[in-house]
Amino acid sequence: MKLLEGITVLDFCQFLSGPSAAMRLGDLGARVIKIERPGVGDAGRQLTLQNLMADGDAVNFQIINRGKQSYAANLKDPADLERVKKLVAKADVMISNFRPGIMARMGLDYESVKAINPGIVYGTVTGYGTKGPWVEKPGQDLLAQSMSGVAFLNGNASDPPVALGLSLADSITGTHLAQGLLACLVRRTKTGLGGQVEVSLLESMLDLQFEQFSYYLNNDRKLPERSTIGNANDYLGAPYGIYRTKDSYIAISMGAVSTLGELIGEPELLQYHGAEVAMEKRDEIKAIIARKMLTETTDHWVELLEGAKYWCGRLYNWKEMVNTDFFTSLNMLTDIRRDGEDKPLWTTKCPIRVNNQQMGGGVPAPRLGADNDSINREFGL
């Protein structure tokens, strides 16, 4: 039996944060019905990355919405809205990520839905919460990275702030939403009570930084300083960072500076002892390491340092990573192409394993409205 078998989720979301939470519940065995506008559907169907499409929909849309069903309904049409409310009455979970007020105008806010289905677990994603001066600002990943301080932490001291090259705010917010929904479902099994779960991009990004941000709050609110060389964590001393070698790059993390000096044959490093010195003299030390790393290949340094159990790792791009024996052993890829498509559509499997079994599977994303007829028959709509 799948972990969430018997749980029905209504996904009223667009783009990434909300749909990714619904996707994860689906990976864990829930049935996910995506409610979409007739004719156009989730706006994410046409929001491509590098214009990559498959079978008329954006590839990224299909990845985020794998394993779901699609029910097309015009929520401004009274008849369609009534059918959707009948689905709400029989659902376990409902998720939306529209701006505050939009669901209320359709009579699908939490209080209205609770009146239809008291036991429902209702999740919402916003950009900046439901109160305060930023409520109307657009909730978007780059903006959340920038406004939360995450971009401020990245790059070397001489660089401008650097955003991470992925939709981190959307992804982590979807993860937090899934956690909250699952907690409410557990409580419901014991008490019968539903509940409302609220998350926002900005709060999730602040929480993602809880270690460094808490240090700032408790250290006289002194801003951290980025390292001038190989900056990887503003609060950690040398050798922590990424260094260029003779042919590529190496990451060096935890270990005594003097021990590193002995291993790589760099006498200049032998004078630095203790974590306090490693932080105070961070840039000075890292400059010495950087010069030494350039004298040999990555293979040379990795073999040397790993042999001495000094923490390090080579830097892989995706082309290199997928060709490693380790990646192959994970069996982490799945083909979610739709019926009739010749070309594979690859994505990652759910990273959660339970009793050595990988969760989720290679079920495609639905075509718009593909499940209207079967759902209407099943639910008597």
CA 349 vs CA 13, 23, 63, 168, 370: distances in Å:
21, 11, 10, 18, 24
> Which of 96, 120, 91 has the alpha carbon at shortest distance from 13?
96
* Residues 185 and 254 reside in one and the same domain: no
170, 234, 283, 373: which is the annotated catalytic residue? 170
Same domain? For 182 and 87 the reply is yes
Q: Does any domain span residue 328?
A: no
170 is catalytic: yes
Q: Is 246 inside a domain boundary?
A: yes
Q: What is the CATH number of the domain that holds 373?
A: 3.40.50.10540
pLDDT band at residue 151 under the 50/70/90 scheme: very high
Q: Tell me the CATH number at 246.
A: 3.30.1540.10
Do 61 and 106 lie in one domain? The reply is yes
361 pLDDT higher than 90: no
- For residue range 172-187, list pLDDT tens digits in order: 999 999 999 999 999 9
Q: What is the mean pLDDT of the chain?
A: 96
Interval 60-99: pLDDT, tens: 999 999 999 999 999 999 999 999 999 999 999 999 998 8
Query: Looking at the structure, do residues 49 and 137 belong to the same domain, yes or no?
Result: yes
pLDDT for res 271: 97
Predicted confidence (pLDDT) per residue in 224-238, tens digit: 999 999 999 999 999
Instruction: Please tell me the predicted confidence (pLDDT) of residue 52.
Output: 97
**Residues ≥6 apart with Cβ < 8 Å to 72:** 36, 37, 38, 39, 41, 368, 369, 372
Q: pTM here?
A: 0.95
pLDDT digits (tens, 9 = 90+) for 259-303: 999 999 999 999 999 999 999 999 999 999 999 999 999 999 999
Residue 213 lies in a domain: no
Paired tokens of 233: 């964590």
Based on the fold, state whether residues 153 and 273 are members of the same structural domain. Answer: no
The answer on 148 and 18 residing in a single domain is: yes
Residue 53, domain member (yes or no): yes
**In a shared domain, residues 290 and 178:** no
Please list, in sequence order, all residues whose beta carbon lies within 8 angstroms of the beta carbon of residue 237, skipping any fewer than 6 positions away: 275, 277, 278, 279, 280, 282, 285
Smallest Cα–Cα separation from 67: which of 39, 36, 33?
33
Same domain, 12 and 156: yes
The amino acid occupying position 232 is A
> Do 167 and 29 share a structural domain?
yes
Which residue range is the domain that position 106 belongs to? Answer: 8-208+366-379
Same domain, 165 and 303: no
Inside any domain, residue 47: yes
Q: Which residues of 59-87 are buried (b: 16+ CB within 10 A; e: fewer)?
A: bbbbbbbbbbbbbbbebeeeebbebbbeb
Same-domain check for residues 98 and 199: yes
Any domain includes 197: yes
Question: How does pLDDT run across 76-85, given as a tens digit for each residue?
Answer: 999 999 999 9
Residue 318 pairs in a beta bridge with none
CA distance 297 to 283: 22
The domain total for the chain is: 2
Residue 267 lies in a domain: yes
Residues 158 and 40 both lie in one domain: yes
C-beta separation of 86 from 381 below 8 A: yes
Answer yes or no: is pLDDT of 148 > 90.
Answer: yes
Q: Which two tokens stand for residue 71?
A: 């029910």
E strand or H helix that includes residue 125: strand 121-126
Residue 189 binned pLDDT confidence (cut-offs 50, 70, 90): very high
Q: Are 214 and 186 in contact (CB under 8 A)?
A: no
